[in-house]
A and B are shown apart, each in its own frame.
Chain A
């Protein structure tokens, strides 16, 4: 009898142990995902923060003594930098760098450095009568010397200038306003960011109306027949087709119709719109389905037509749900890379696109292109660009969650 009880107690103990083990495995699985996400964010942030800084040389410039032959009236005209260039500002900056940093140091000043001095002068013409101190970017070679890798000559030069207090890392907000460049010191993401925005605009304009209208049709009006079945099957399958296939479609169809718009946001947006539309349709159908039938019956009973029922009553009530799905679909499109590689949005774009038909690149593709660079400076830039992209994604997802919690009604 005692042995049986002991046996039972032992078995119970083992069952409870298994229960606890199982629970811990489950917790471990969730914790693993959380840890991976945390690790991803922390490693990207720690590497990316360095992408928002650049190596700058600091030296003094006696603009009063240089007496540039340029007056305030010329600076007020369009393209004042050309005026300053004609007046000899680049040579003045170069001389100043030579005096302060020595010839080897001056050779490593970025060739566009005088532009930053020029912009400061345009913003405040009184600088021309003063003795000023300037911070200008240096070349990528010297920057890698300062970072501690790169050639021994550069490392020695960087060490000397750093000890003299003439070379240092400085926060660089220009990363957000400049465009791609071959030198990591001068590279920025504005062109890619603008390209992304234009592409997203095209995608939204095409995919949102089409998706919502298709959802309305399928949910409210479509007769049960073979055509409707085909539409539903294709929407469900399109939602699961790999994105790269849409790239092939864009390449074979859109670029064949519009050969002049290779790598333009227009084509990229059209391709992504086809990819995003099924996502919008599916979420919009769910949102429309969630509106209770009593609303439809009520509106019909007081004489509204079937179109009026939908456009005056159902759609406004379903809108928060539709918007949530749209934002999530757009966030996915924003991070999409592969289909845009297919249609040629991988060119080196050094100026922001002027419109939806101009050649452009997008943020994820820019990240991909930079990730191929060997220069250590581009590793930091890549991580910094990833931070910007992730911030956009988080903002969009956060907005979607907020909309869902704030406006979605439970019936």
Chain B
């Protein structure tokens, strides 16, 4: 892989610069009557940064643009004129020729691609050579420039520290760039989707049956209400009916009643429950819980109980959320001032009365915020519903039937063979946008509530 070579080259130049500059700085110090402004190590870092950083930046950019340049040069070769103008076959032939030229494959499957190998190899050599030369040049030039500036009074430390601060700032900007990237990529594809399907049909339609293979206009098949309904029933109703009572009572028991030993064993246990991968929960839901739920449904006389049910997915999701609700409730109960608890107990209330009448009302904002975060987590959960909830988009209140969710449909739309320009594929991004906005709103409100409530007691 050529980019690894470039990165290693840049780092090697940096190391060489570091060693050279440091020994030069030591040499300054050995001369009589000189005091270095900065320690020799900082001189080393200064030169190393100048030698490595521009070269690394170039290597990163080159990694992205070089393949395009190679492709362009290869296609300008007369041999490329024989290629089919577009389509799958053209892409396959180009890919085969490239693989042979890189030395990853020994021969082309398609004889017609054979004349392309030589131009591809030449183009790769040319641009590989250019990349190597420019990296080397940038590294050496940067290092030499920095090295020439060294002298005993040189303020290497301040400059290196300024560079460190810049690196720190860039690292923290990654978070903003990521958020921005999510918003832009979702927005872009969503707008393309809404160019094909009306937003009103999408948000308020009740019929969801996109067909990624059909080319026909199908605006009436993108009504997402059944998906929102399924998501709410599974994530916000069934899962919360399990998670809120169990999580809250676990937190109360562990903080108010349990002995230190019980707590010591039970807390890691809840952490393990929280750390189990969702695919494992999904498998558990599909293999163990779903058949049991179906048998139970049929036993109580619901003939339509299916082996993929909203109830099975919701129950397992609820179990998955228990540790989360528990730890949020734990935090907000712990934030209630001890004086309130002591006051209640001193009036003769039992522990449970204190908890129910004093602690929980006082901790309620925090608990509500925790529940909101738990809901946002449940509706974004994917693997459990993919494996246990089913694909049928229907508006039903019967939890023994299968329902589908937003996340399930995102996976279903994007893992098929559909083309990237088809509304079915793009609908996944529109669903993702809805999911993103809803979870963002829930988190934002929840964090606000937590913050304001904390301030009230501090």
Q: Is B75 an interface residue (CB 8 A)?
A: no
Contact A30 B352 (CB under 8 A): no
Chain A residues with CB under 8 A of B407: 242, 244, 338
The size of the chain B interface, using a CB distance under 8 A, is 89
Chain B residues with CB under 8 A of A26: 249-250, 252-253, 256-257
Q: Is B272 an interface residue (CB 8 A)?
A: yes
Q: Is A65 an interface residue (CB 8 A)?
A: no
Chain B residues with CB under 8 A of A36: 273, 319
Contact with A along B227-261 (1 / 0, CB 8 A): 00000000000000000011111101110111000
Chain B residues with CB under 8 A of A364: 277, 279
Could you list some 5 contacts between A and B, CB below 8 A?
A29-B247, A30-B250, A221-B168, A253-B185, A307-B165
Query: Contacting B249 at CB < 8 Å: which of A29, A258, A306, A379?
Result: A29
Q: Give the one of B178, B271, B278, B377 with max A CB within 10 A.
A: B178
Query: Contacting A15 at CB < 8 Å: which of B257, B350, B373, B439?
Result: B350
Contact B440 A19 (CB under 8 A): no
Shortest Cβ distance from residue B230 to the other chain A in the assembled complex, whole angstroms: 15
Contact A252 B189 (CB under 8 A): yes
Q: Give the one of A217, A245, A246, A389 with max B CB within 10 A.
A: A245
Q: Is B376 an interface residue (CB 8 A)?
A: yes
Contact A389 B277 (CB under 8 A): yes
Query: Contacting B429 at CB < 8 Å: which of A216, A246, A248, A336?
Result: A248
Asked if A236 meets B172 with Cβ closer than 8 Å, knowing A44-B280, A335-B277, the reply is: no
Give the distance in Å from the alpha carbon of A240 to the alpha carbon of B415 in the complex: 24
Residues of A in contact with B (beta carbons under 8 Å apart): 15-16, 18-19, 22-23, 25-30, 32-34, 36-37, 40, 43-44, 209-211, 213-214, 216-218, 221-222, 230-231, 234-238, 240-246, 248-249, 251-253, 257-258, 260, 274, 277-278, 281, 305-307, 328, 331-332, 334-338, 341-342, 346, 355, 357, 364-365, 367-368, 371, 379, 382, 386, 389-390, 393-394, 397, 401
Residues of B in contact with A (beta carbons under 8 Å apart): 1, 64, 67, 157, 161, 164-165, 167-169, 171-176, 178-179, 181-182, 185-186, 188-189, 245-250, 252-254, 256-258, 266, 268-273, 275-280, 282-284, 286-288, 319, 322-323, 350-353, 355-356, 373, 376-377, 379-383, 386-387, 407, 410-411, 414-415, 428-429, 432, 435-436, 439-440, 443-444, 447
Contact A33 B414 (CB under 8 A): no
Number of A-B contacts (CB under 8 A): 246
Contact A30 B188 (CB under 8 A): no
Query: Looking across the interface, which residue of chain A has its beta carbon closest to that of B39?
Result: A308
Asked if A277 meets B174 with Cβ closer than 8 Å, knowing A213-B167, A217-B169, the reply is: yes
Contact A242 B381 (CB under 8 A): yes
Contact B246 A29 (CB under 8 A): yes
Chain B residues with CB under 8 A of A382: 283
Contact A337 B182 (CB under 8 A): no
Interface residue SS majority, chain B = helix
Give the distance in Å from the alpha carbon of A209 to the alpha carbon of B172 in the complex: 11
Give the distance in Å from the alpha carbon of A211 to the alpha carbon of B178 in the complex: 13
Chain A residues with CB under 8 A of B188: 252
Give the distance in Å from the alpha carbon of A149 to the alpha carbon of B284 in the complex: 22
Shortest Cβ distance from residue B199 to the other chain A in the assembled complex, whole angstroms: 19
Asked if A245 meets B280 with Cβ closer than 8 Å, knowing A240-B373, A278-B175, the reply is: no
**Leading 7 A-B pairs by shortest Cβ distance:** A242-B380, A335-B277, A26-B253, A29-B249, A213-B171, A252-B185, A22-B352
